[in-house]
Amino acid sequence: MSNVGIVIVSHSPLVAEGTADMVRQMVGDEVPLAWCGGNGHGGLGTSVEAIMGAIEKAWSEAGVAILVDLGGAETNSEMAVEMIGEPRAQKIVVCNAPIVEGAVMAATEASGGASLKEVVATAHELSPS
C-alpha cells in the first residue's frame, strides 16, 4: 500500500487496541495500521521488540508515523527506530501528539495519500508547542 502507515504504542494493550479500533472505524483498510502495548510479560509497559514488530506490520514505502502515550513509550519507540536502522529509519517518525486524537487525525490525513511530512504535521498540530 502506498499510504503512510500508522503505529500505535501504549503502555496498555487495551488502550492501544481501542485506539486502533477507532482509527479503523475512521479510515477502514486504507491505511496500514498496527498497535502494540504491554511489556511483553503481561504487565503495563512497552517493548522495543513489539514496537519493531508493529513497525514491520504497518510498513509502507511512504513511511510510518508512530503515536505514543507516556514517556517510556516514546523512548522505546525511538530505540526501535534506531535498531531498525537506515534506510528505513529516516521514513519513520515518532509523533509528538496525544495518542488517540493523534492516531485518528494522522490516519485520516494518511488515508488521503498525504506524505509522511504532512501526516506528522497534522498530528503535531494537536500539541501545544
Partner 1 sequence: MAVFHLARLITAAADTIAAHAEELTALDQAIGDGDHGLNMKRGFEAVRAEAEAFSAKPLPEALKAIGTKLVMTVGGASGPLFGTLFMALGKEISAAPDRANLTAAFGKAIEAVAARGKSQVGQKTMLDVLQPVHDALADGKTGSEIANIADAAADATIPMKALRGRASFLGDRSIGHMDAGARSTALLVRTVAETIGESV
Whether 11 is catalytic is yes
* Min CB(111)–partner 1 separation in Å: 31
Do the beta carbons of residue 4 and residue 31 sit within 8 Å? yes
The distance in angstroms from the start CA to the end CA of the chain is 32
Site of interaction with partner 1 (CB under 8 A) = 39-41, 43-49, 70-72, 75-76, 78-79, 83
The one catalytic residue in 4, 6, 11, 76 is 11
Residue 9, strand partner residues: 36, 68
Q: What is the largest CA-CA distance in the chain?
A: 37
CB 33 within 8 A of CB 107: yes
Closer Cβ to partner 1, 44 or 126, answer by number: 44
Complex with partner 1: residue 74 or 118, whichever CB lies closer: 74
Residue 14 vs 83, nearer CB to partner 1: 83
**Active-site amino acid positions:** 11
